[in-house]
Amino acid sequence: MTTSTAVRQRTPAGYDDLPRLMGLMTGDEKHGPAATSTLDALWVLYDRVLRVTPGTAEAPDRDRFLLSKGHGPMAYYAVLAAKGFLPADWLPGFGAYDSPLGHHPDRTLLPGVEIGSGSLGHGLPLAVGTALGLRARGLSEPRVWVLVGDAELDEGSNHEALAYAGATGLDSLHTLVIDNASASHALPGGIAARFEAAGWSTATVDGRDHEALYAAFTAPHPGRARAVVARVEPAYA
Amino acid sequence: MDTMRERFASVTSRLLDEDPRLAVVLAEIGTDGFAEAARRHPDRVINVGIREQLLVGVGGGLALAGMRPVLHTFASFLVERPFEQVKLDLGHQDAGAVLVSAYGSYDWPAGGYTHMAPGDIALLDTLDGWTVHVPGHPDEAATLLRHAVAAGDDKVYVRLSQQANAAGRPVDGAGFLTVREGRAGVVVAVGPLLDDVLAATEGLDVTVLYATTVRPFDTAALRAAVGPGPADVVLVEPYLAGTSTAYANDALADVPHRVLGLGTARGELRRYGTVPEHLRAHGLDPASLRERIAAFTGPRDGARAAA
């Protein structure tokens, strides 16, 4: 593994560093935010919302972030590196045999990564179980966040989780839907309508607008699970 | 006598009182048995409705949050329908759980094939690190459930059955028990098939090993029973015939041997009826077993006949 020579990045980086960090994986130094649908929502979460740091990545009362949409995790890795969870010098190894950074993340190889993902439709059910487990342990402070894609919501397992969490008012659970209009057969009435029908609190915002994302992420939703739909550029426009 | 399923509810309800880390997840099936426990532990007895993918996903999430989840429904819906959840939400996450199934291969024949899962153990055999218990009596089910819950964060499958032997045996959650000793062959009887195997081998000169923990496979017990060989080994399993044949072969890689795997047939019967009728159809009733075991282990041309 490249960790033997790794030097941990000591100073957390900022939003402006993300294109450079992503460039370490893709080789494209000009990697702009628009190229990655999840980048801004991830940044606002890690920068201003999630109560977790590299020092508390194993703490029982940390907030949990579960990346369900494990495809194209470069933005995720870049944000984790910027926040000091991963050394930046792991990034150039992306996808290599001796690198812990795969094209889909593996929780057992990466500090701060809560689930291994890649197969779609697993994160939301796992997040429901995590929220239930934290409640059963009497940990009422931690919030659970899960990021899914709009097309990923087609998976039946997500509908099972969505219906259950809505009906039971699992208010520590937060689903962030990155909507780049990639579903072949979109939900009638839009994504938020599906969550609302199941009893969730919802908001739909511009997925590039950091203030709008922050407001949606932090709005109170007593007694209801929360879904934030972040709209970004269509995937195949 | 209560059934294994009833014992599961009573034992696990008690364990919920004792162990604050324990949680039970159900998908409608089995909720009656946990009604009182759910009142006492509303956050740790969870019914997700008829949602079996969520059942297993929630189990994975509970484990990630530091709990010890017990997941229960019929084997078809616990292992087969959400198999990728079993593979990824538990195995790939490095998260543990206790899966407790009912009905298995032929426990509710009148219910038909939709409620049968003769391939559950073979499916789990494609995954790494699963302990599999197949109790043959409600007392053994209680013991093995306690072992399963106490097994740290291990992945454990407990296969409960409607069929049971007349008496429980002192199972330890690890190895096979030697029930009878003989020289003409070794018969491994799994869980609820022990009584039928003992009846079938009455008067035959064979060793009978009783297996209630089938994974990991007790290689040492089989090797000890076989000795230096050559050996004839018969496996009698209440699920797909041959499920454990590879394990027996691996255990005896350096011993001359033959293995006969008996169990349920792969072909779909498309019959309803009763458990005894299905056991007969699969050749797992005492008369069929005796015929097949005697033919395999009995005298024949060659070295054994000469000896």
Tell which of B19, B22, B51, B70 to mutate to test the A interface (max A CBs under 10 Å).
B51
pLDDT, position A235: 77
Confidence of residue B229 (pLDDT cuts 50, 70, 90): confident
Tell which of B25, B77, B86, B93 to mutate to test the A interface (max A CBs under 10 Å).
B93
pLDDT, position A35: 67
Neighbours of A155 (CB within 10 A): 21
pLDDT of residue B300 exceeding 90: no
B301 vs A103 pLDDT, higher one: A103
Measured between beta carbons, which residues in chain A are less than 8 angstroms from residue B54?
125, 128, 157, 160-161, 164
How many CB pairs below 8 A link A and B? 104
Instruction: Give the ranges where B214-285 is alpha helix by DSSP (H).
Output: 219-226, 245-251, 275-281
Rounded distance between C-alpha atoms, residue A235 and residue A230, angstroms: 13
pLDDT, position B298: 86
Neighbours of A72 (CB within 10 A): 14
Per the prediction, chain B carries an average pLDDT of 96
- Among the partner-chain residues B43, B54, B93, the one whose CB lies closest to the CB of A115 is B93
Rounded distance between C-alpha atoms, residue B187 and residue B211, angstroms: 10
What DSSP letter does each residue of B274-290 carry, written as one string? -HHHHHHHTT-SHHHHH
- Contact A120/B at CB under 8 A: no
B92 by DSSP, 3-state: which? Answer: helix
Measured between beta carbons, which residues in chain B are less than 8 angstroms from residue A122?
57, 60, 85, 88-89
Q: What is the pLDDT along chain A (237 residues), one digit of tens a residue?
A: 444 334 444 467 999 999 999 999 987 766 555 568 999 999 999 999 999 999 999 999 999 999 999 988 999 999 999 999 999 999 999 999 999 999 999 999 999 999 999 999 999 999 999 999 999 999 999 999 999 999 999 999 999 999 999 999 999 999 999 999 999 998 888 999 999 999 999 999 999 999 999 999 999 999 999 999 999 999 754
- Among the partner-chain residues A106, A116, A133, the one whose CB lies closest to the CB of B61 is A133
Residue of B nearest to A135 (CA): B43
Flag if B58 and A125 touch (Cβ within 8 Å). yes
- The tens digit of pLDDT for each residue in B172-204 reads 999 999 999 999 999 999 999 999 999 999 999
Measured between beta carbons, which residues in chain B are less than 8 angstroms from residue A125?
53-54, 56-58, 60-61, 85, 89
CA nearest neighbour of B56 among B76, B26, B29, B28: B26
Q: What single letter denotes the amino acid at residue A55? A: G
What DSSP letter does each residue of A194-220 carry, written as one string? HHHHTT-EEEEEETT-HHHHHHHHHS-
pLDDT, position A11: 60
Rounded distance between C-alpha atoms, residue A132 and residue A140, angstroms: 10
- What crossing angle do the helices spanning A123-136 and A156-167 adopt, rounded to 10°? 30
- Contact A75/B at CB under 8 A: no
Rounded distance between C-alpha atoms, residue A131 and residue A114, angstroms: 13
Instruction: Give the ranges where B99-193 is alpha helix by DSSP (H).
Output: 120-124, 138-150
The sign one gets for the Cα dihedral B209, B244, B239, B289 is: negative
- The tens digit of pLDDT for each residue in B6-34 reads 999 999 999 999 999 999 999 999 999 99
Q: Spell out a b/e string for B157-171, using b for 16 or more CB atoms within 10 Å of the CB, else e.
A: bbbbbebbbeebbeb
Max intra-chain CA distance, chain B: 69
Measured between beta carbons, which residues in chain B are less than 8 angstroms from residue A199?
none
CA atoms within 13 A on the CB side of B237: 31
Confidence of residue B116 (pLDDT cuts 50, 70, 90): very high
- Contact B73/A at CB under 8 A: no
Query: ipTM of this predicted complex?
Result: 0.94
Flag if A126 and B23 touch (Cβ within 8 Å). no
The minimum CA-CA distance between B112 and chain A, rounded to whole Å, is: 26
Mean pLDDT: which of A6-15, B50-59, B296-305 is highest? B50-59
Q: What single letter denotes the amino acid at residue A190? A: G
B61 by DSSP, 3-state: which? Answer: helix
pLDDT, position A8: 47
pTM of the model: 0.95
Asked if B91 and B127 count as a contact pair (C-beta separation under 8 A), the reply is yes
Rounded distance between C-alpha atoms, residue A88 and residue A22, angstroms: 10
Rounded distance between C-alpha atoms, residue B227 and residue B250, angstroms: 15
Q: What single letter denotes the amino acid at residue A38? A: T
The H or E element that residue A84 is part of is none
pLDDT, position A96: 96
Rounded distance between C-alpha atoms, residue B22 and residue B211, angstroms: 27
- What whole-number percentage of chain B has pLDDT above 90? 96
pLDDT of residue B303 exceeding 80: no
Residues 75-94, chain B, touching A (beta carbon < 8 A) = 84-85, 88-89, 92-94
- The tens digit of pLDDT for each residue in B150-159 reads 999 999 999 9
pLDDT, position A31: 57
The minimum CA-CA distance between B91 and chain A, rounded to whole Å, is: 10
